[in-house]
Amino acid sequence: MHVKMLDGRVVERAKARGIDVLVYAPHFTRLPAIREQAERHSDDELLVVPAREIFTGNWQNRRHLLAVGLSEPVPDFISFEGALSTLAEQEAALCVPHPTLLNVSFGRPEIRAYADHIDAVESYNVKSPPHVNSRAKRIIEEAGLPSFGSSYAHLRGSIGEAWTEFDADIQSEADLVEALVSGADRQVVHHAGPRHRFWNAAEFAHLGYENSWGKVDRLFLSGTEPTHPDHIAYEGRFDDVAVY
């Protein structure tokens, strides 16, 4: 929980690192396309679960939500309240990735305010610097919420650098949603040492590309990209909560 890329090499690496379930949530890709890829790369050894990391708010005040168990597509750049309502209607698990990381995440006030709606908060993310992960753990303890860990891999080498071990038998997407929503016992695990620190640094450096203004303009502001709320695929259902 979770990765941003999916192909044969990612699947091979996940299996080699002992991963049984891989949550696939690429940026700015609609749910049907994510689900199709997840089904294509799932087999008896590895279950790939489709998910969406939803960008709520505008670019200056965005907050990310990881939604697992969606039954219908949800766009990016809608209000947080709009996303919260939609996820509740679909009975999806609401997870908070990389808390307090730069200006793209929930902070302590938001986690406290919405604790009753949050199913899990990420306590370890390979992309986050050590002090951010330490701060996330403190916030999770204060809020009394379940945690999860993630490679958050944008780079193949990060696959399997961090993972979550559930005390539950997860054989399907529904099983994972149930484990998250019910607060099933779990342990967050990650590697250490020079190799792990290298992938920490490489993933963090990738943020420079991820957050370039050229990418913002190309992906969102045209109003025609797949996860823009104005896209024809959403049939105007999110017009009242769209922020762009």
Name residue 50's beta-bridge partners: 24
CATH number assigned to the domain comprising residue 103: 3.20.20.140
Is 155 inside any structural domain? yes
Question: What pLDDT is stored for residue 206 in this prediction?
Answer: 87
Question: What one-letter code names the amino acid at 172?
Answer: S
Question: What pLDDT is stored for residue 214 in this prediction?
Answer: 47
Is 97 inside any structural domain? yes
Question: What pLDDT is stored for residue 157 in this prediction?
Answer: 95
How many domains are there within the chain? 1
Q: Which range marks the domain in which residue 167 is found?
A: 8-234
pLDDT per 10-residue tile (average), the chain, 244 residues: 96 97 96 98 98 89 93 95 96 96 88 96 96 96 97 96 97 98 98 96 83 53 75 94 91
Is 198 inside any structural domain? yes
Is 121 inside any structural domain? yes
Is 239 inside any structural domain? no
Residue 109, number of CB atoms within 10 A of its CB:
9
Question: What one-letter code names the amino acid at 35?
Answer: R
CB 227 within 8 Å of CB 28? yes
d(CA 236, CA 197): 45
Q: Which residue has the tokens 């990650």?
A: 190
Name residue 134's beta-bridge partners: none
Is 240 inside any structural domain? no
DSSP-derived letter for residue 59 is G
Question: What pLDDT is stored for residue 59 in this prediction?
Answer: 74
Is 177 inside any structural domain? yes
Task: Count CA within 13 A, CB hemisphere, residue 99.
Answer: 29
Is 148 inside any structural domain? yes
